[in-house]
Amino acid sequence: MKSHATETILPANLRFHLLQPNGLYSPIPFVFVTERMARDIMQERQVILDAQAPSVRTRQEAVFKRFDPDLSVRAFENILGLFGVTRRR
């Protein structure tokens, strides 16, 4: 009988990343990212990284570094500020 104890399985429907033909996941580019979305994106990234082999993980991390959700959060907050909207934290 095969043991599945060492296998890590990704969720069937990732919300913020798309599988590419090269086997890596690319972030879906969002114009507006809320703080909650940024947390969810980072959690999903961790799940993806944990499921990958160490040889692929380094390449995947490089892909993730190209899109920083925190920058998008700040940009979103700045746009809201232009319209006089402030968010409670």
Report pLDDT for 86: 83
Q: Per residue in 30-67, is it b (16+ CB within 10 Å) or e — as a string?
A: eeebeeebbeebeebbeebbebbeeeeeeebeebbeeb
Rounded Cα distance between 89 and 86, Å, is 9
Report pLDDT for 10: 73
User: CA nearest 60: which of 75, 71, 50?
Assistant: 50
Residue ranges covered by each domain of the chain: 17-82
Report pLDDT for 75: 93
Report pLDDT for 1: 62
* Average pLDDT along the chain, 89 residues, taken 10 residues at a time: 61 90 95 94 97 95 95 93 84
Report pLDDT for 22: 95
